[in-house]
A and B are shown apart, each in its own frame.
Chain A
Amino acid sequence: MNVFDQWRNAAVAKPLAESIRSIAGERPIRIMEVCGGHTAAIYRFALQRMLPGTIQFLHGPGCPVCVTGTDFIDRAIAIARAEKTTVASFGDLIRVPGSTLSLAEARAAGSSVEVFYSAMDALEWAVHHPDRTVVFLAIGFETTACTIAAALSEAVRRQVKNFRILSAMKTMPGALHALLSDSRTNVDALILPGHVCSVIGSQPFEFIAHELRIPCVVSGFEPLDILESVRMLSCQLVEHRCEVEIQYRRAVKPSGNVAAQQIMEQMFEPVDMTWRGLGSIPASGLGVRREYSAWDAASLAGKTAPSKEPPGCRCGDVLRGSIRPEECSLFRKACTPDRPRGACMVSSEGACAAVYQFAGAEDEH
């Protein structure tokens, strides 16, 4: 018996799926999830196949690598070309195509690019390489941002001057506001990102239920979590309720993790941010606070040529939930996880990569 088995149990999953079927009836329900972890789990456990065809999952802008714009990659590559400079990155990001190269290709051509699992590891590397400027590519949502804030705070405390941050960190509530207020977005219910909510709580998402009248459930990432969340959303819809409910109680409180919020507040400030697919959204990003500008790499980036999106790539449409990955003409042909043309094919949390890796032709509509 493995600890994961309790959330992956067919004997529980089947009746749960049955109860969703009886609650939802014939009613078409379009559920958007906005965390790549949910997208990956939905495909990995083929959850769509347990549910009536009338219930449809739409994949929103929830994969941090996917929503990072091409311009950010171009700036990172430009920085990596500088003398005695190392770009420190999370693994997936180095494979995202920029206008001409990916960071992995830049590395193959001689630039210094190192992969880390956390900002703290990159900071330690910087401490051990005092002769190099180490620029950490800070991407991710609140879940990752608080860990980067902790690393930055440590760099400031220890006065590690060769460590800098190039930020494309993003905050979820503002982006969801922009996406869900757009009249082109057609969503009946929302699965809220469990990890983001473990940091900022469920309260910052209350506006979605109250102002936009869309039922929300904060979900965990195991198949039974997601099925239970779908059941809770179906109940809200049938009962004409619009609330933010928490299914992922083992990790999420309405007020979130206050210590994590404080350190983010202390190190970062809201900035306008460009999202792939959604464009620039006011105050939807986190930048290094002015008092710590010595650790901000934004000034190192210089000017890069206007960035170009890969021809034919429809990642933007995928991230808005307006097309399914398999509706892009590059999908599984010119664009594969091995030779990704668009960001959504790179990360295991990207919708295109999840469909590619886990779905068969029979699942692709």
Chain B
Amino acid sequence: MSTERITLAHGAGGESMRRLIRELFREAFGSPELQPLADAALLELDSRQAAFTTDSYTVKPIFFPGGNIGKLCIAGTVNDLSVMGARPVCLSFSCIIEEGLPLAVLEQIVQSAAEEARGAGVSIVTGDTKVVARGECDEIFITTSGIGVRPFGKGLSTDGIKAGDAILINGFIGDHGISVLAARGNLSMQVKAESDCAPLNGLIESILTESAGVKWMRDATRGGLAAVLSELAEDTPCGIMIDESSVPVRESVQAVCELLGFDPLHIANEGKVVMVVENAEAEKILTVMKRDPLGAHAVCIGEVTEDSTGIVRLKTPVGTVRRLHRPAGELLPRIC
């Protein structure tokens, strides 16, 4: 029996968590659908293509600029389904509530979740409620699971990715992580940052409807853009080259990152999708993205390369090239 204990690093989206998931959960559960460790499992239910996902939300504080835990738990689960090429259909909503939480606060969270679900066109069809004694959880933790159907043909995978493909993102990075950090109130500085928390199913569905050029996508949540790109590079026989100057970062987010020694590429987002698309379709897809307010600042940030297989390289603003690694260690706990 190991004497090691779980530390916050095991939940931070870095190497420790990766190891825990691979060596404990995937090993123990063993199902083939779990093996890819994707954002959602792809299933065949009675010969229909479906996707199934689940996510727990422990964000602290539960209200932050741009959203709250209710909005977040809907957007996050909708996005996990959408990036797998699925159309989200229905969600579950389970909460663990700490004794003493004002009912008005719970009402506000539930109303937000309901509104967000309506906006995203998904129904909340089942749920569960538990209350624990004061101190046994922190205000409220929510778990949402979701089922989606996959009308978009063969689905998305890294299989078709080849050198020359373009890498797109739908806007500014780092807003969510920095706004939650600032909302904790222990930063002693005024930060103008609002979470980007939003369901992306509408945006993604328009793109998939109008172009067959999308090969793969992920939402860049914990571990930020760097984690998503690292995962992508490891799963393809190609390399990735990113132009740092083209990655949209708000000045306020950049400033906080510089002060605290964070890299915006490592900071979590809750409304950002990274796509690998056929080069010839990139302009068209960017046009579709920009029509949607959630894609107004969409840009191409790099491309798939033939060389440097399995790694992500980054061209710095001064023109040098370096490796981009996934973040390691404990970054910011409880941002989602």
- CB within 8 Å of B: which residues of A? 2-5, 8-10, 13-14, 37, 40, 43-47, 49-50, 91, 95, 104-105, 107-109, 116-118, 120-121, 223-224, 227, 336-340, 346-349, 353, 356-360, 363
Q: How far is the CA of A82 from the CA of B5 in the complex (A)?
A: 21
Contact of A45 among B14, B316, B329 (CB under 8 A): B316
- Stretch of B47-55, B63-71, B254-262 contacting A (4+ beta carbons < 8 Å): B254-262
Interface of B is mostly: loop
* A358 and B7 contacting across the interface, CB-CB below 8 Å: no
Q: A43 — nearest CB in chain B belongs to which residue? A: B322
* B318 and A8 contacting across the interface, CB-CB below 8 Å: yes
Q: Which of B14, B325, B329 has the most CB of A within 10 A?
A: B329
- Asked if B235 lies at the interface with its beta carbon under 8 angstroms from chain A, I say no
List 20 other contacts, CB 8 Å, given A10-B319, A120-B188.
Answer: A2-B251, A3-B251, A10-B318, A44-B316, A44-B322, A46-B320, A50-B320, A95-B9, A108-B6, A109-B5, A117-B186, A227-B318, A346-B329, A348-B261, A356-B325, A356-B328, A357-B325, A357-B328, A358-B322, A360-B313
- Asked if B16 lies at the interface with its beta carbon under 8 angstroms from chain A, I say yes
Contact of B330 among A104, A117, A224, A227 (CB under 8 A): A104
B171 to chain A, nearest CB (A): 15
- Asked if B163 lies at the interface with its beta carbon under 8 angstroms from chain A, I say no
- CB within 8 Å of A: which residues of B? 5-9, 14-16, 186-188, 249, 251, 254-255, 258, 260-263, 311, 313, 316-323, 325, 327-330
Q: How far is the CA of A349 from the CA of B328 in the complex (A)?
A: 14
- Could you count the A-B residue pairs with CB atoms below 8 Å apart for me: how many are there? 109
Q: Sample 28 A-B pairs with CB under 8 A, ordered by A number.
A: A2-B249, A2-B254, A5-B317, A8-B316, A8-B317, A8-B318, A13-B318, A14-B319, A40-B261, A45-B316, A46-B316, A49-B320, A50-B320, A108-B5, A120-B188, A121-B186, A121-B188, A223-B316, A223-B318, A224-B318, A338-B328, A348-B262, A349-B261, A356-B328, A357-B325, A357-B328, A358-B325, A360-B313
Q: How far is the CA of A50 from the CA of B319 in the complex (A)?
A: 9
Q: How far is the CA of A45 from the CA of B263 in the complex (A)?
A: 12
* A337 and B186 contacting across the interface, CB-CB below 8 Å: no
Q: What A residues does B318 contact at CB under 8 A?
A: 8-10, 13, 45, 47, 50, 223-224, 227
B19 to chain A, nearest CB (A): 8
B141 to chain A, nearest CB (A): 19
* B15 and A105 contacting across the interface, CB-CB below 8 Å: no
* A95 and B317 contacting across the interface, CB-CB below 8 Å: no
Contact of A44 among B7, B263, B327, B328 (CB under 8 A): B263
Q: What B residues does A8 contact at CB under 8 A?
A: 316-318
Q: Which of B5, B255, B317, B327 has the most CB of A within 10 A?
A: B317
* A116 and B186 contacting across the interface, CB-CB below 8 Å: yes
